[in-house]
Structure 1
Amino acid sequence: MGISSHNNTGLLLLLLLLLLFSVLVSKSSCKTSALDLLDDYSYEKRKTTVDIQNDIESNGAYLYYHCWSRDDDLGQRSLNQGEQWYWEFRPYPTTHFWCEFRWYDNWDYHWKNGTFTVYRGGFFRDKYAKDLCGKDCSYSARRDGLYLLTKDYVWVKREE
């Protein structure tokens, strides 16, 4: 019972192809890894900051908020008028942070609230990093809603 020469030739050809492929990959001038092809910057190296500031134009309005992701609960907090708070994280394609905001409008005498996505990564295109705010996402809570400072330094009102 021996191995036929046809099987030996196929095995030898397969080994040569594997050797050729490994040489080509190792000699390639391309420095891009397979993960880098999925997104055009390294998630592991850059940090993103989300900044929230209370700019509510109402007499002494407190901003109450609660931010979380699938992995982290940042707790319930509050900001006095004019104060700000931020956190940093290393985003991955699955990163998604939400914040629930509420405040009492002293002019209209009722509570206002809303829940917003404040950061969401992406596998092939990170909309927040590429299009909206870069790696510094600044939000301003105002009497009429929540605003995001874009990469073009323009405040844009966010929809829930």
Structure 2
Amino acid sequence: MGEFRKKALFFTILFTVSWEATMAIRQKEDDDNLNKFVLSPTKTIVRIFNKLGNGQDLTIHCKSKDNDLGVVTIGDNGVFYWKFRVNILGSTLFFCGLNWTDGNGVYDIYKAKRDMHRCPTRCNWEAHTDCVHGLRQGDNLWDFIYNWTRPS
């Protein structure tokens, strides 16, 4: 076997072993879930659609522990989105404050322990007048609902 083939085989085996080790489950419990090491090969995109209707604006302010995405106002039928990779511990969390004329709330829009399997590459949310709906990727069902806090 040529020198190049030996090196190629060595690096293929090294990559495979490294990948498997990274994906292994840690044996320590953390609250109510097992931690997993995560190597995210693709970015996740989170999109929040304004479906309030009647020309209503939706103001959004999203943050994680490390990133503040700023305050954004999107018009009727507009969308706000961002991309990221889940951190290696699988603890990525983005929460967003959403406000409009008749409601507001702060919601966990991306929580890795919940969403890595629910919406691994595309997490879509729609803000409607009744509530905020989250879409489960794969079967395209609205499976998560956050109700608005209404002004007094």
For normalisation by structure 1, the TM-score amounts to 0.67
Matches within 5 A, 1:1-160: 31=17, 32-38=19-25, 39=36, 42-43=39-40, 45-57=41-53, 59-92=54-87, 93-104=90-101, 111-121=102-112, 126-130=113-117, 132-151=118-137, 152-159=139-146
Count of aligned residue pairs for this structure pair: 120
SS in 1 for 2:91: coil
SS in 1 for 2:104: strand
Report the counterpart of residue 13 of structure 1 in structure 2. none
Indicate conservation of the 8 Å contact 1:54/1:79, yes or no. Answer: yes
What is the CA distance between 1:36 and its match in structure 2? 1.6
Q: Deviations over 1:31-54 (max 9, x none)?
A: 3443220348622x2210000110
Letter of the aligned partner of 2:126 in structure 1? S
Give unpaired runs (5+ residues) of structure 2. 1-12, 26-35, 148-152
SS in 2 for 1:118: strand
Q: Deviations over 1:116-158 (max 9, x none)?
A: 101112xxxx32021x222100010000111111121012342
* Whole-angstrom distance in 2 between the partners of 1:94 and 1:134: 14
Q: Deviations over 1:100-126 (max 9, x none)?
A: 10101xxxxxx30011101112xxxx3
* Whole-angstrom distance in 2 between the partners of 1:145 and 1:156: 12
* Whole-angstrom distance in 2 between the partners of 1:74 and 1:41: 23
Larger radius of gyration: 1
Letter of the aligned partner of 1:48 in structure 2? T
Indicate conservation of the 8 Å contact 2:45/2:81, yes or no. Answer: yes
For normalisation by structure 2, the TM-score amounts to 0.71
Q: What is the alpha-carbon root mean square deviation over aligned residues?
A: 2.2
Give unpaired runs (5+ residues) of structure 1. 1-26, 105-110
* Whole-angstrom distance in 1 between the partners of 2:67 and 2:37: 26
